[in-house]
Structure 1
Amino acid sequence: MTMAEPYRSTPIFDQDSLPAALRDNHQTKEGVWGLIRVLEGELNLTYVQPHSEKMLSPGNPGVVGPQQTHFVTPIGPMRMQVDFYNEPPLP
């Protein structure tokens, strides 16, 4: 089984450059998965419905399913990037 390849990635964001849109409720499009990769530091991923939270760190990415409402909160200094897939990624 081959690992899915991302078709697009965001720039690398830090705690200052992380867009407000990612800090507030948002979702991926239909048929799109997001893999949130933390390169340095920590990031809290909050799933809105049903509510749950996951602490992300290097080596512990977060997966967001299609149209799954979520937001992220930096925990101090951090660097992160989001990869987008049109099939479920295998973190």
Structure 2
Amino acid sequence: MATIPETMQAYQKTQIYTDKTTPGMMKNDHSVRNGVWAKIVVQKGEVVYEVPTRQETQTLTPESPGIIEPMVTHRILPQPGAKFYLEYYR
């Protein structure tokens, strides 16, 4: 799994999402801008993080966050009962 470079600093955090409130675009193929990294922080339950171009699937939990690399197409699929947010770095 990728790690956010130490030179990056957090600059924004989303609201807390659930399986019912996650925007549809997050569940479909999308990416973050060039130069921007993100961390998927799970507070409760499980979130499936998919990178289709690499055929990678990770199940994220409160103990195991996910890292989104710049310009990498991905999907975020919260499972029933999950709560999570994204933290952006640049």
- With the shorter chain as reference, the TM-score category is 0.7 to 0.9
Give RMSD over aligned pairs: 1.4
Q: Percent identity?
A: 25
1:59 and 2:63 correspond: yes
Structure 2 unaligned residues grouped into runs of 5+: 1-5
1:3 Cα offset (Å): 8.0
Superposition deviation, residue 48 in structure 1: 1.8
Task: Give the strand-richer structure, 1 or 2.
Answer: 1
Specify the alignment match of 2:47 in structure 1.
43
- The 3-state SS of whatever aligns with 1:76 is coil
Identify the match of residue 89 of structure 2 among 79, 85, 88: 85
SS at match of 2:81: strand
Question: 2: CA distance between counterparts of 1:31 and 1:7?
Answer: 13
**What TM-score do you get using the length of structure 2 for normalisation?**
0.88
Aligned to 2:3: none
Runs of 4+ with deviation above 3 angstroms? 2-5
Q: How does 1:61-76 map to 2 (within 5 A)?
A: 61-76=65-80
Q: 1:51 & 1:33 partners in 2: Cα distance?
A: 20
Unaligned runs of 5+ in 1: 87-91
| Separation in structure 1 between the aligned mates of residue 53 and residue 40 of structure 2, nearest angstrom | 18
Determine if the alignment matches structure 1 residue 11 to structure 2 residue 25: no
The alignment's TM-score, normalised by the length of structure 1, stands at 0.87
What is the total number of aligned residue pairs between the two structures? 85
Q: In the alignment, which residue of structure 2 is the partner of 1:89? A: none
